[in-house]
Structure formats: structure tokens, C-alpha cells
Chains A and B, each alone.
Chain A
């Protein structure tokens, strides 16, 4: 197998592994499935060439889904982490923008004393700002949304309770 063919094959296997990971497939089983695909692709490449061999397996994502559709249900830790991270970034950005708005409003109003507000929808969180000539102070207290939001997202996407479901093998229809 040429270097180019090897790179193409390994890329397809990496993508397959990524989608298996997204499906919540555990490490040893992923290694087993990767090894089997590598062996089959190697045989097919020697027989019909890498292009046709890779075309034959189709999309690595669909292959991963088809291979695991009757697997026992498992928590999707990776998907949960990715979505929790995304929610954290969105909330942090939103909170920063809200804080900036509070500062600008305090500045525009020319309020010299400290301002403390609880803007919608940041229930329980206090945004403070103080603007005086030569000084600008801002702060956020109890930003619990930055913890609860990502945590809830992680739990809802990862679904740890999947671990409690039956591990009986399912029947196959094909």
C-alpha cells in the first residue's frame, strides 16, 4: 500500500473512530472495530485499490452508526462534554455582553455611585458597575448559570442513566 493510500485509509479509520466515540462506544470495543476495518480495508485495497475500497465502505459516520445501532445503550460522554463546553462559551459571552451593557448604561447616566442590577434573565446574579472620572469598576457576583447551564447540558446530552438500562443483546432484523 502506498503512503497516500495509507494516509487515506487511516483518515477514514480515524473518522470512523470519532463517530464511534460520539456514539458512546467504549475504548476496547472501538479498538476492536478499528482493527477489523483496517484489516478489511487493507484486503480490499490490495484487491481493488484504495479508491474503490474506501468508496465501498461509504461514509464512516453511517458505518459507525450502522455497526452500533443494536449495541447496548451507553452514556455519550464525549457529546455531553462538547455541548457543555459550547453552552459555557455562549453563556460566558452573553454574561460579558450584559456586563458591558450595564457599564455603558451607568456611564451614559453619569451615575457616580456604585450601580447594582439583576437584569433578565440572570436571576440571582448581581451585575455591579461604578464609573467615576479616572475609574471604571465592574463585577459579577454568583454567576451560577455558568455552572448549572453546562452541567445540565452535559447531563441531558450524555444521559448517564443509559448505564442503568438493560444490557441484553438486541435481536437483529437484517
Chain B
């Protein structure tokens, strides 16, 4: 089971949630199970639920209630147009970060350092 640095995970959680919600609407626990299936086994619900609330508060997500046969009505989240713009921005920022980290952490050839 892969483990993730909680601080790093917190930094990209918004990107993960916006990405997942860019294709289909989902609710809190549904997103937790999706993220766990994607390899984030150590992700706590207590991290995801507030993140959704904050993204909604910032206008990046919109929500509505949907009746559930198995219990209380679920609150489904979907991405807004502002959320799409933010997702594009965050994807670009993530790509830039990965590229820079890769350059900085790849051992240089002996010839290049000389």
C-alpha cells in the first residue's frame, strides 16, 4: 500500500477533488472511496469533507441534495465554471512543479557538472 506525506497530500487535495468532479458529480464519501481506489488508502474522511466545503465556499464547486434509498439525502458536488478555470490553473502549476522537482532531483551527468 503506498503511503503519502500528509502535507504533500493536503497540497494537492484540491486538485484531486476538482479533477474527479470535472467529469462527474459525486458526494463526500463517494469521493473518499474513489480516491482510496486510486491509491490514496491513507486518506481520511476528515480531510476530504472540509476540503469540499472550502472549495464550495470559494465558488469552485456547486452542490445539491439527492435522495438516497440507503439513508439521508446525499449532498452531490459538481464543478463550476470558476472551478474549471481553477482546475486548469492547478494542473499547470502541478506540471510545472513536477518538471522542476524532476530537474532538481535528477543526478546530473559527470560531464555536465565539470
Contacts and interface: CB of A to CB of B under 8 A. Distances in A.
Contact of B46 (A46, A57, A169): A57
A63 B57 contact: no
Interface stretch (A66-74, A101-109, A110-118): A66-74
Interface stretch (A36-44, A82-90, A150-158): A36-44
Interface residues of A, number: 32
B49 A170 contact: no
A42 B51 contact: no
A43 B14 contact: no
B68 interface: yes
Contact of B29 (A40, A58, A63, A69): A40
A44 B54 contact: no
Contact of A174 (B14, B49, B65): B14
Interface of B: 10-11, 13-14, 27-30, 32-33, 44-47, 49-51, 53-55, 57-60, 65, 68, 70-75
Interface of A: 32-33, 35-40, 42-44, 46-47, 53, 56-59, 62-63, 66-71, 169-174
